């Protein structure tokens, strides 16, 4: 097995054992990026010089015996995270020239632990999309089949892990944006409970839904990364001040006697038969491990996508108002006055999907429509959350597919936004409920594309998710498969 195929916990042992240096490791990944990224397009910015400098510093820490689990490990970040002194674009033309003046909290926490940031990853512009085709820097390709999409919006974050361009990455998940690409790329992705990880220094799409989370090769790496970034942050008023447990403690405790719920609304007609078969196989695996299955219902599931597209776009229409060409980023000024400058800057700077969502959201908040759209969507959101809390009275976790189909072809759904929106039908309710969920590889389609399994946990029960995911991973080989590039 090559260096680049290894996990954080494996590489950590090699680093402190002196079998490899962080510099060598970082070089290996930088070389892999250079060799493969013309086919994948996962990176917007590669931080070669800084990464090598940081890896030298990491090697010194390791030599001094001060290594953390992440010290010297090459990671990469979705280009939505502000990174001091490094271009941060959110895959938008409007931020093409924006050099972040400060580090976001999650980034600072990774740096404190000595992680080596090798670059900034491609994504759907402002995290709006499910296929990574809405990027000003071109689409990301799925490493398993470069004619298919990697999913979105954290497409670069998932594809780069699958393509062995980074050991692990950070993404954000507003409506499935970590889990769906992780599923399509055959890697592990976790969306923590809202408030578990600080949003400070993360470019906002929909503030009440956005959540930072890890994408990695396996469940244990996911736990390590979450450990590093989770926890209260006084700079984010919505981060929650509850203790962060040791996420690796008890991870191997198994699922004997665990109650797993199967929400009937998630196993519908029209679910891709191969996805369905993979779910059934996964259920059998868990049964074999001693888990019990319970049928549950989440009755308001049908309204989730519509509610999501009202709430998320409403918040986005306001969050994206600051991109006006006045203080940073791109400005288009034809000398025809202020309003013209605002309009031309935004017209030139934003892509089609971003404009579509700004318009949708502006409409939903407009006087006379607010009650019918935004307010009603918020009420539905409360009902959806209650659905989950009620289901969790009877079960420990829920098991569902991540997406109705494996990765679809590039360009296949671009002209049909509604079809595109439906690819997040199983992930969006979790964001509305504000709870946590994880995507795990659980099989392949006949076309050789990965299929993902979603585990949904109670609020702040990430530890349970990790344990349940780990048990599955130990019993299966799916996470060891490698895309042939």
Which residues are part of the catalytic machinery?
Answer: 78, 153, 177
359 binds other proteins, rule: CB under 8 A: no
For other proteins, the closer of residues 170 and 410 by Cβ is 170
Taken in order 214, 218, 223, 228, is the CA torsion positive or negative? negative
362 binds other proteins, rule: CB under 8 A: yes
Q: How far apart are CA 208 and CA 211, in angstroms?
A: 9
Phi, then psi, of 112 in degrees rounded to 5: -60, -30
Q: Give the list of residues 6+ apart from residue 478 with CB closer than 8 angstroms, or none.
A: 186, 440, 441, 442, 443, 444, 450
Given a contact cutoff of 8 angstroms between Cβ atoms, the answer to whether 94 and 346 are in contact is: yes
Closest separation between CB of residue 373 and other proteins, Å?
Answer: 11
Q: Are strands 74-78 and 168-172 parallel, antiparallel or unpaired?
A: parallel
350 binds other proteins, rule: CB under 8 A: no
CB atoms within 10 A of CB 184: 34
85 binds other proteins, rule: CB under 8 A: no
62 binds other proteins, rule: CB under 8 A: no
95 binds other proteins, rule: CB under 8 A: yes
For other proteins, the closer of residues 256 and 370 by Cβ is 370
For other proteins, the closer of residues 294 and 321 by Cβ is 321
Given a contact cutoff of 8 angstroms between Cβ atoms, the answer to whether 202 and 192 are in contact is: no
Given a contact cutoff of 8 angstroms between Cβ atoms, the answer to whether 426 and 266 are in contact is: yes
Closest separation between CB of residue 378 and other proteins, Å?
Answer: 9
Closest separation between CB of residue 361 and other proteins, Å?
Answer: 9
Binds other proteins by CB under 8 A, chosen from 204, 310, 395, 483: 204
User: Closest Cα to residue 130, out of 424, 461, 419?
Assistant: 424
For other proteins, the closer of residues 207 and 476 by Cβ is 207
Taken in order 215, 217, 223, 227, is the CA torsion positive or negative? negative
Binding residues for other proteins, how many (CB under 8 A)? 43
Binds other proteins by CB under 8 A, chosen from 79, 133, 220, 315: 315
Binds other proteins by CB under 8 A, chosen from 238, 297, 386, 474: 238
Radius of gyration of the chain (CA): 21
Q: Give the list of residues 6+ apart from residue 101 with CB closer than 8 angstroms, or none.
A: 82, 84
Q: How far apart are CA 448 and CA 454, in angstroms?
A: 19
User: Closest Cα to residue 90, out of 50, 45, 49, 141?
Assistant: 45
Site for other proteins in 317-346 (CB under 8 A): 317-318, 320-322, 324, 326-328, 338, 342
Q: Are strands 212-216 and 168-172 parallel, antiparallel or unpaired?
A: antiparallel
146 binds other proteins, rule: CB under 8 A: no
Closest separation between CB of residue 201 and other proteins, Å?
Answer: 4
Q: Give me the 295-314 binding string for other proteins, x by CB under 8 A, dash otherwise.
A: -------------------x
For other proteins, the closer of residues 34 and 235 by Cβ is 235
Which residues bind to other proteins, rule: CB under 8 A? 81-82, 88, 90, 95, 98, 100-102, 104, 199-204, 206-208, 234-238, 314-315, 317-318, 320-322, 324, 326-328, 338, 342, 362, 365-367, 370, 374
């Amino acid at each position: 097995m090559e260096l680049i195929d290894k996990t954080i916990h494996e590489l950590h042992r090699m680093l402190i054992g002196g079998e490899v240096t962080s510099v060598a490791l970082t070089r290996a990944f930088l070389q892999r990026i250079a060799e493969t990224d013309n086919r994948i397009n996962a990176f917007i910015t590669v931080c070669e010089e800084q990464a090598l400098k940081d890896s030298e510093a990491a090697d010194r820490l390791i030599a001094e015996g001060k290594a953390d689990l992440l010290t010297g490990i090459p990671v990469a970040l979705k280009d939505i995270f502000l990174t001091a002194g490094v271009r941060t674009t959110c895959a938008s033309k409007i931020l093409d020239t924006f050099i972040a003046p400060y580090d976001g909290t999650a980034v600072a926490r990774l740096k404190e632990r000595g992680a080596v940031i090798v670059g900034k990853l491609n994504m759907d512009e402002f995290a709006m999309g499910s296929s990574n085709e809405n990027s000003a820097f071109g689409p990301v390709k799925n490493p398993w089949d470069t004619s298919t999409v990697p999913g979105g919006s954290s497409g670069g974050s998932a594809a780069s892990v699958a393509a062995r361009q980074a050991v692990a990455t950070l993404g954000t998940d507003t409506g499935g944006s970590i889990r769906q690409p992780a599923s399509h790329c055959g890697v592990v992705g976790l969306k923590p409970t809202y408030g578990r990880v600080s949003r400070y220094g993360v470019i906002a799409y929909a503030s009440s839904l956005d959540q930072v989370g890890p994408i990695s090769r396996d469940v244990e790496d996911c736990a390590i990364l979450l450990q590093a970034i989770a926890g209260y942050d006084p700079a984010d008023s919505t981060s929650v001040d509850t203790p962060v447990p040791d996420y690796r403690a008890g991870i191997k405790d198994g699922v004997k006697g665990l109650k797993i719920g199967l929400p009937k609304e998630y196993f519908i007609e029209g679910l891709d038969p191969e996805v369905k078969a993979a779910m059934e196989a996964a259920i059998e695996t868990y049964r074999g491990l001693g888990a019990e299955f319970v049928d549950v219902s989440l009755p308001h599931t049908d309204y989730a996508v519509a509610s999501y597209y009202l709430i998320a776009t409403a918040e986005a229409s306001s969050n994206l108002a600051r991109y006006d060409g006045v203080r940073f980023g791109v400005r288009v000024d034809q000398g025809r006055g202020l309003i013209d400058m605002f309009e031309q800057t935004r017209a030139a700077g934003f892509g089609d999907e971003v404009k579509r969502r700004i318009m949708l959201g502006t409409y939903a908040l407009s006087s006379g429509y607010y009650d019918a759209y935004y307010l009603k969507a918020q009420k539905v959101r409360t009902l959806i959350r209650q659905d989950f809390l009620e289901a969790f009275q009877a079960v420990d976790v829920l098991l569902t597919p991540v997406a109705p189909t494996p990765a679809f072809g590039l360009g296949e759904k671009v002209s049909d936004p509604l079809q595109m929106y439906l690819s997040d039908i199983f992930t969006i309710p979790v964001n509305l409920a504000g709870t946590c969920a994880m995507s795990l590889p659980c099989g392949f389609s006949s076309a050789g594309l990965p299929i993902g399994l979603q585990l949904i946990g109670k609020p702040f029960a990430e530890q349970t998710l990790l344990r349940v995911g780990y048990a599955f991973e130990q019993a299966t080989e799916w996470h060891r498969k490698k895309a042939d590039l």
